[in-house]
Amino acid sequence: MSGQSHDHPHETGDVKASGWFDPSQSQAPVLDFERGEYEDRVARTQREMARRGIELLVVTDPSNMCWLTGYDGWSFYVHQCVLVPVDDMPLWFGREMDVNGAKQTTYLPFGRLIGYDDRYVQSPDVHPMDHLADIIKGYGWGARVIALEMDNYYFSAKCYTSLRAHLPDARLEDAAALVNWRRLVKSPQEIAYMRKAARIVEAMHKRAFEIVAPGMTKKDLAAELTYSGIVGVDEEGGDYPAIVPLIATGREASAPHITWDSTKIKKGDVTFFEVAGCYKRYHCPMARSIFLGKPPQHILDAEKALLEASERAMEAARPGNRCEDIANAFFTTLRGLGFDKSSRCGYSTGLSYPPDWGERTISLRSGDTTELKPGMTLHFMPGLWYDDWGLEITETLLITEGAVECLANVERGLMVKD
């Protein structure tokens, strides 16, 4: 995890508020954060760009686009991006028909919203990035050091080869997850949204425990979970989570990323469901497992080991420790109790869009030396997947000055219903 600098979030931004408001815009957008918070995010991104010698950043990850500008909409199935110059306000670039959505959801002046013609959409002959290159040149940035999110969602190989071909004078670099790393420490408002998401995921699990019974189909459980997640709590609805409910039962539960089908939940099987509450695109993921009937000894042993190892891991989740300290505490304890797991036991979470509610920065595994800081939020995800069963009992953690906080309050353990 070398090469990742940690900046100081939530300072006053460098970008002046006066430059960010266009009084000619008749209708104010609906923003989920104060304008100053967006300015601070852009300023922190620009500071890191300056530190790395990057003059222009092309941001395609929808989560990063939203975090920087507020842009929200299911338009990421076509190419779009936010351009961040190191010394100026961002620009939004997307399909012409989505400009109205950008007007409604971002603080950007309309002059900073650039729509491209529909003929660029999914065409074998022309590519939106061909056009973006012309725009970049039009702004006089054609010979800049331009960083691309080379491994972030929706930045395809063709996006890269198009920009490379059409910006021959630019120096193209890999920004990697530059913006994602800026998002690690959450602001008070972000944490408030994640707490709302936690209330929603609590309601989802409560509903699941009420209704699961032998003979219930997984699709009906998925429908109920999804319904609860969108209806939300206290008149405040939930958004679509970045991942749909993952529901598996019996032998299927050996596979962590199965969704659901119309078959029935049976007595004598473990069923797990991994879901998230989502509020203003902020997630609180949580998985629980349920057993209908009397659990066999190997499942009870696994539960005991999982809970014990989770306790040790959460004790290590405190400021000053490293991410790998959480993982090492977990894996050492788990192995000592006779179980094993070959995958990471968690990752950072927060604002996201499909296909992932992780932030693609921290992974809880040996070798991740990221220092834990108050305000970080992690999905601690110690799933066990054996050849003919699986067990998932997870928590979304908030790192605080003191002991770690579990954002959602759902009894931790194998839920048993007889």
For the four alpha carbons of 166, 171, 174 and 180, in that order, the dihedral sign comes to negative
Rounded Cα–Cα distance for residues 363 and 186 (Å): 17
Q: How many CB atoms lie within 10 A of CB 237?
A: 13
Rounded Cα–Cα distance for residues 180 and 186 (Å): 12
**Does residue 377 interact with its own copies by CB under 8 A?**
no
**Does residue 139 interact with its own copies by CB under 8 A?**
no
Find the binder of its own copies among 342, 401, 402, 418 (CB under 8 A). Answer: 342
The string of DSSP letters for 206-245 reads HHHHHH--TT-BHHHHHHHHHHHHHH-BTTBPPPPPSS--
Closest alpha carbon to 193 in 285, 88, 273, 279: 279
Rank residues 16 and 257 by Cβ distance to its own copies and give the closer one: 257
Find the binder of its own copies among 12, 123, 332, 409 (CB under 8 A). Answer: 123
Pick the piece of the chain touching its own copies (CB under 8 A) from 15-23, 206-214, 223-231, 316-324. 223-231
Angle, alpha carbons 244-103-47 (nearest 5°): 80
Pick the piece of the chain touching its own copies (CB under 8 A) from 139-147, 157-165, 282-290, 393-401. 157-165
Say if residue 411 is exposed, middle or buried (CB neighbours under 10 Å; 0-12, 13-18, 19+): exposed
Bridge partners for 94 per DSSP? 115
**Does residue 277 interact with its own copies by CB under 8 A?**
no
**Does residue 356 interact with its own copies by CB under 8 A?**
yes
Site string for its own copies, 181-220 (x = CB under 8 A): ------------------------------------xxxx
Q: How many CB atoms lie within 10 A of CB 220?
A: 15
Query: Binding-site residue total for its own copies (CB under 8 A)?
Result: 90
User: Token digits for 246?
Assistant: 């993952």
Smallest distance from the beta carbon of 19 to its own copies, in angstroms?
Answer: 25
User: Token digits for 334?
Assistant: 């788990």
For the chain, the first-to-last Cα distance in angstroms comes to 46
Is the N-terminal amide bond of 355 cis, ω within 30° of 0?
Answer: yes
**Residue 408 per-residue DSSP state:** S
Smallest distance from the beta carbon of 411 to its own copies, in angstroms?
Answer: 26
**Does residue 389 interact with its own copies by CB under 8 A?**
no
**Residue 252 per-residue DSSP state:** G
Smallest distance from the beta carbon of 2 to its own copies, in angstroms?
Answer: 8
User: Token digits for 283?
Assistant: 């997630």
Find the binder of its own copies among 25, 43, 75, 318 (CB under 8 A). Answer: 75
Find the binder of its own copies among 135, 231, 300, 337 (CB under 8 A). Answer: 231
Rank residues 140 and 157 by Cβ distance to its own copies and give the closer one: 157
Q: How many CB atoms lie within 10 A of CB 288?
A: 24
- Binders of its own copies among residues 237 to 266 (CB under 8 A) are 237-240, 243-244, 246, 251-252, 254-262
Find the binder of its own copies among 100, 332, 369, 409 (CB under 8 A). Answer: 100
- Binders of its own copies among residues 21 to 50 (CB under 8 A) are 27, 30
User: For residue 9, how many C-alpha atoms fall within 13 Å in the half-sphere facing its CB?
Assistant: 19
Rank residues 15 and 334 by Cβ distance to its own copies and give the closer one: 334
Rank residues 12 and 369 by Cβ distance to its own copies and give the closer one: 369
Pick the piece of the chain touching its own copies (CB under 8 A) from 74-82, 186-194, 374-382, 410-418. 74-82
Pick the piece of the chain touching its own copies (CB under 8 A) from 120-128, 187-195, 203-211, 318-326. 120-128
Smallest distance from the beta carbon of 256 to its own copies, in angstroms?
Answer: 5
Find the binder of its own copies among 12, 17, 134, 156 (CB under 8 A). Answer: 156
